[in-house]
Structures are given as C-alpha cells and as structure tokens.
C-alpha cells in the first residue's frame, strides 16, 4: 500500500478510544501526570491510547511525548541504534556502550531535559516486557529522580514481567481487546472520513477476521478498499485470506533462506495438506511474493526463476508436489550458505 496507513492517518483522539474504561483511566493521566502501566493483548490499542492522552495533555505533544520502543534497541545491532536519528544526539561517540547501557543512557537523557510546554513531559517505554531486570532497576532510579518533570508510561503485554518496585510506582491501566461492535464503530468512522463505500456486513467480516486486534482490523479494511474499492459484503474474506496466505508464503521463504528447512517444510505441508493448495499455485505465489517483498536483488531473483522453472517442469509431470517444492526450499537455504 503506497497510501498512508489508516492506523497513522486516523489515530484516535482520547474520546475516540473504543474501550470506555480505558478512556476514563487515561483522563486521569491527563488531569494528573501519574505514572502508568498500560497492559493488554497485542493490537488492542495500547500505544495509540497513550499517544491520544499525550496529545490532550501537552500543548506541544510532538516534543513533549518521547517514545522509546524497546524492540528498537534490543532487536537491532549497535550500529543501527547509533545511526538512528532519534538516538544519534544521545549516543554520538558512545558506540562502545552495551545495548543495555545505550538504552539506559538514552532514557536518562530523555527524562532529564526540561519539558517544552507545560510543567511535565511524557516518556513512553513501549514493549516493556522485553526489558531485563537489571535495566528495570536502572529505570526505577530514573523514575525516582525525574518524577517532578516526567510522566513515565510503560506499555506491555505481560505486566508480571515488570519488577514490583516499578509496578508499585505506576497506576495500572488494563486494555482489553475491543469487542466486535467497538471495532465496527472504529472502522465506520475511518471509512466515512476516507469517503469509502461500505456496509455493515463488510465491516463485520473485517472485525471477525481480526478477532479483537484493532490494528489488524484497520489495516485489513484498508487492504480490502485498496483491492476492491469498497468494504462491502463478503469481499473482505477473499482479500484477507489472500493477505494471510502471502504471510505464510513469506514466512516459508524466510525460513528456507535462513536454513531452517524443517520450519519451511512444515509451512509447505500446511499449504498443501491443510489448505489443499496445489504445487503449481504455491510456486506461482512464491515467485510473486519474492518479487513484491524484495527478498532478493535482481541477480538472485533471476536465479530463483531459473530454479523455479525446473521445479515447474517436474510439477507438470504429475509427481509429488511436496518433494519438488521441498527441493526448491532446500536450494534456497543452500544458496544463502554459499
């Protein structure tokens, strides 16, 4: 999708958060800068809710809401962290630090500067369940030192992974998965803002497929509109099934390239047996996804097409689809090793 993501273009205001109990808790966070632990399942809207609270609490939320996603540190290399423009001002000349110390330094520097507007700023630590206990102890000390000028908000799917001294310093805000009716209400608001034709049936199919994941529902609605020009009837089922299959194909390619042959073949078996797809269709989708997702440069993609041509010939002879596609997956792993 080349258009802006609807999750960004239609970020909710505090009043538009679908869970009424979450709205009530976060209004308290606007009125009084208490520390919060916002916890709930993936896709329930935790981060979007905190951003909505900050937009209402701060005259200059662009500067007075500081977001640090733990995955941006621990899931990346040290050079990727120091090259990130969000972190460069804090980490110039400090590439010798461990990733834990990098995060600790960024956190202390971010908490230490004065708010741009008002009397306090909000520091959001996203995916906090990934933070190790030793860093959490350092975080506790930062919270104690800067409590007058910084509101600390931690979002997590697993609040029990936070140490008791942090949990005791934060008001808990449970965020449940939105109901089907709440998801439909959000989707209808976005569809009307976008001028998209829709009906109740189409929105309910999107909500059902998303199964309580609000982000997935919004992106699913956008994918349906991009493919069909509307969100009506049973169209979302066909579109979102295709999207899900592409994700499976992508996961299979990634596993094969990484040399994880058993995982790649397990996905292949799901496609062939559980979903009843034929080998030629899987091969066609594999090539399409490889081109679209940019797994390969032009030279590697040409080699993949040559290999796929041989496999396609074998498939046309009517022998085992599993054997021939498994051979292709094994060759992908060997190509990466070479």
Q: Write the CATH number for 98.
A: 3.40.50.300
Sign of the four-CA dihedral 298, 302, 304, 308: positive
Quick check: is 7 in a domain?
Answer: no
Same domain, 75 and 189: no
Quick check: is 2 in a domain?
Answer: no
Quick check: is 10 in a domain?
Answer: no
Per-residue confidence (pLDDT) for residue 285, from 0 to 100: 81
Q: CATH number for the domain including 194?
A: 1.10.8.60
Same domain, 189 and 168: no
Per-residue confidence (pLDDT) for residue 162, from 0 to 100: 94
Per-residue confidence (pLDDT) for residue 335, from 0 to 100: 58
Same domain, 209 and 332: no
Quick check: is 14 in a domain?
Answer: no
Length of the chain: 338
Coil, strand or helix at 38: strand
In angstroms, the CA 212 to CA 250 distance is 24
Same domain, 142 and 52: yes
Residues 6+ apart with CB under 8 A from 112: 146
Domain count, the chain: 3
The DSSP secondary-structure symbol of 12 reads P
Same domain, 271 and 202: no
Same domain, 23 and 165: yes
Check: CB of residue 336 under 8 Å from CB of residue 258.
yes
Quick check: is 3 in a domain?
Answer: no
Per-residue confidence (pLDDT) for residue 316, from 0 to 100: 76
Q: CATH number for the domain including 329?
A: 1.20.272.10
The last residue of a domain, from among 174, 196, 223: 174
Same domain, 81 and 197: no
In angstroms, the CA 109 to CA 78 distance is 18
Residue 12: exposed, middle, or buried by beta-carbon count in 10 A (0-12, 13-18, 19+)? Answer: buried
Same domain, 160 and 219: no
Per-residue confidence (pLDDT) for residue 338, from 0 to 100: 42
In degrees and rounded to multiples of 5, residue 123 shows phi and psi of -110, 115
Coil, strand or helix at 202: helix
Quick check: is 118 in a domain?
Answer: yes
Same domain, 133 and 33: yes
Digit-by-digit pLDDT tens for the chain (338 residues) are: 456 889 989 999 999 999 999 999 999 999 889 999 999 988 899 999 999 999 999 999 999 999 988 766 766 777 777 877 777 877 877 777 877 788 788 888 888 888 998 899 999 999 888 788 888 888 899 999 998 999 999 999 899 999 999 999 999 999 999 999 999 999 999 999 999 999 999 999 999 988 888 988 998 899 899 889 999 998 888 788 766 667 788 888 888 888 888 888 888 887 887 667 778 888 888 887 777 655 556 667 777 888 888 888 777 776 678 888 888 888 887 755 44
In angstroms, the CA 315 to CA 45 distance is 45
Per-residue confidence (pLDDT) for residue 319, from 0 to 100: 63
The last residue of a domain, from among 153, 174, 195: 174
Instruction: Name the residue range of residue 36's domain.
Output: 19-174
The last residue of a domain, from among 174, 207, 222: 174
Helical ranges in the chain per DSSP H: 6-9, 20-31, 46-57, 61-64, 71-74, 78-83, 88-91, 99-112, 133-145, 164-167, 180-194, 200-210, 214-228, 235-257, 261-269, 279-292, 298-316, 321-337
Q: How many CB atoms lie within 10 A of CB 141?
A: 12
Residue from 57, 38, 215, 20 nearest 124 by CA: 38
Quick check: is 4 in a domain?
Answer: no
Quick check: is 12 in a domain?
Answer: no
Same domain, 133 and 195: no
Check: CB of residue 60 under 8 Å from CB of residue 114.
no
Same domain, 301 and 267: yes
In angstroms, the CA 232 to CA 219 distance is 15
Residues 6+ apart with CB under 8 A from 320: none
Check: CB of residue 45 under 8 Å from CB of residue 215.
yes
Same domain, 150 and 36: yes
Residue from 108, 170, 157, 167 nearest 133 by CA: 167
Alpha carbon of residue 62 to chain centroid = 21
Residues 6+ apart with CB under 8 A from 239: 220, 223, 224, 227, 228
């Amino acid at each position: 999708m080349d258009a802006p993501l609807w999750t960004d273009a239609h970020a909710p205001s505090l009043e538009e958060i679908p869970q009424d109990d979450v709205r009530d808790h976060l209004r308290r966070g606007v009125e009084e800068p208490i520390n919060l632990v916002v916890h709930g399942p993936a896709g329930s809207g935790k981060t979007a809710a905190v951003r909505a609270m900050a937009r209402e609490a701060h005259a200059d939320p662009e500067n007075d809401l500081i977001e640090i996603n733990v995955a941006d540190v621990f899931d990346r290399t040290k050079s990727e962290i120091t090259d990130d423009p969000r972190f460069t001002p804090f980490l110039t000349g400090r590439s010798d630090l461990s990733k834990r110390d990098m995060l600790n330094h960024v956190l202390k520097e971010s908490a230490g500067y004065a708010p741009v507007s008002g009397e306090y700023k909000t520091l959001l630590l996203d995916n906090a369940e990934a933070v190790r206990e030793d860093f959490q102890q350092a975080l506790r000390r930062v919270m104690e030192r800067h409590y007058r000028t910084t509101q600390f908000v931690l979002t997590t799917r697993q609040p029990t992974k936070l140490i008791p001294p942090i949990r005791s310093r934060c008001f808990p805000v449970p965020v449940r998965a939105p109901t089907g009716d709440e998801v439909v209400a959000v989707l209808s608001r976005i569809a009307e803002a976008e001028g998209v034709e829709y009906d109740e049936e189409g929105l309910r199919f999107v909500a059902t497929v998303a199964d309580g994941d609000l982000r997935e529902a919004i992106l699913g609605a956008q994918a349906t509109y991009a493919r069909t020009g509307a969100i009506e009837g049973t169209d979302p089922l066909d579109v979102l099934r295709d999207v899900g299959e592409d994700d499976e194909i992508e996961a299979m390619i990634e596993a094969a390239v990484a040399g994880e042959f058993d995982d790649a073949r397990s996905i292949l078996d799901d496609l062939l047996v559980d979903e009843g797809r034929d080998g030629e269709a899987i091969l066609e989708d594999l090539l399409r996804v490889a081109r679209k997702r940019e797994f390969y440069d032009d030279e590697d993609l040409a080699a993949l097409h040559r290999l796929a041509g041989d496999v396609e010939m074998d498939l046309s002879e009517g022998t085992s689809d599993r054997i021939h596609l498994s051979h292709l997956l094994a060759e992908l792993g060997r190509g990466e090793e070479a």
